[in-house]
Amino acid sequence: MYAANYHKPSSLADAVAALASNEDAKVLAGGQTLLPTMKQHLAAPSDLVDIRGIDGMVGVSVDGDMLTIGAATTHAEVASSADVKAHIPALASLAEGIGDPAVRHMGTLGGSIANNDPAADYPSAVLGLGATVVTSKREIAADDFFDGMFATVLDEDEIITAVRFPKPAKAAYAKFPNPASRYAMAGVFVAQTGGGVRAAVTGAGSDGVFRHTGIEAALSSDFSPDAVDGVSVDAGDMLSDIHGDAAYRANLVKVMAKRAVAAAG
């Protein structure tokens, strides 16, 4: 690891200032991607701005049908939260299936979606539930937030503070893990929301997390596993690598969509 300056601001304003005043600064939350990348000399930020000490960045709160999760809340905290389990059990179960216990106790919701790894689990939940990403500057609808593999619309000096999830009528997540890394090779989050049925796919798409309109249309008229059978998933939109080619991933998207719908009940 190359040397980097470490900052641990206690306020959001200080964190934003630290980011803005150092050109190659990076936000550090759980560090589950950033630190290994730095250790391998694949990233070399000049400064690390640790946001975990900022008031209000951690925790779960409920306001009517809206669940708000602080950006620095760990996967383990989400997985074990009584509020999350009561309002959106699919989200608790997704968090429980991320990585391994060590990752879950360090990795954070905000870190995951800011990184937008194409095989990460959380982006599918944020997109699939039609959540709202709250930042130091603004509120961003999930449909506008993700911007392709490892990319979001966040500005360089913008920090995610929380994510607001509306409670769905039904939701579930099914993923097929990569045999080696156990990241999602295809993960599908389906939800019946106030805004209609949503189906977000992670792990499989060649451009990161995306909503599958064909699956959504089929489920809108019949929210059942069988409804997915007739849907066409285009292999041309899929990733291909040594673990699974595009045709296989396209198949997995359908199979995981069906299993998610079945699990949603």
Asked if 221 touches another protein (CB under 8 A), the answer is no
Residue with smaller CB distance to another protein, 206 or 251 = 251
Closest by Cα among 170, 93, 166, 174 to 130: 166
Asked if 236 touches another protein (CB under 8 A), the answer is no
Residue with smaller CB distance to another protein, 9 or 206 = 206
- Region of 13-21, 44-52, 188-196, 244-252 interacting with another protein (CB under 8 A): 244-252
Asked if 226 touches another protein (CB under 8 A), the answer is yes
From residue 121, give the alpha-carbon distance in Å to each of 80, 100, 184, 227, 244: 17, 13, 7, 24, 18
- Region of 44-52, 75-83, 174-182, 201-209 interacting with another protein (CB under 8 A): 174-182
- Region of 55-63, 121-129, 136-144, 249-257 interacting with another protein (CB under 8 A): 249-257
Asked if 242 touches another protein (CB under 8 A), the answer is yes
Residue 218 C-beta: closest distance to another protein, Å: 15
From residue 64, give the alpha-carbon distance in Å to each of 61, 67, 166, 171, 238: 10, 8, 9, 18, 38
Residue 226 C-beta: closest distance to another protein, Å: 7
Applying CB under 8 A, among 10, 21, 181, 213 the residue interacting with another protein is 181
Look up residue 236 and give its DSSP letter.
Answer: G
| Residue entry with tokens 């295809």 | 186
In whole angstroms, what is the distance from residue 201 CA to residue 207 CA? 11
Asked if 187 touches another protein (CB under 8 A), the answer is no
Applying CB under 8 A, among 68, 251, 263, 265 the residue interacting with another protein is 251
Residue 167 C-beta: closest distance to another protein, Å: 29
Residue 119 C-beta: closest distance to another protein, Å: 10
Within positions 50 to 109, which residues make up the interface with another protein, using CB under 8 A?
A: none
Contact partners, residue 105, CB within 8 Å, separation at least 6: 74, 75, 76
Side-by-side strand order, sheet with 196-202: 170-177, 184-193, 196-202, 210-211
Within positions 6 to 45, which residues make up the interface with another protein, using CB under 8 A?
A: 40-41
Burial of 127 (0-12, 13-18, 19+ CB in 10 A): buried
Contact partners, residue 3, CB within 8 Å, separation at least 6: none
From residue 23, give the alpha-carbon distance in Å to each of 26, 27, 111, 152: 9, 12, 19, 18
Residues near another protein (CB under 8 A) are: 1-2, 40-41, 176, 179-181, 183, 225-226, 242-245, 247-248, 251-252, 255, 258
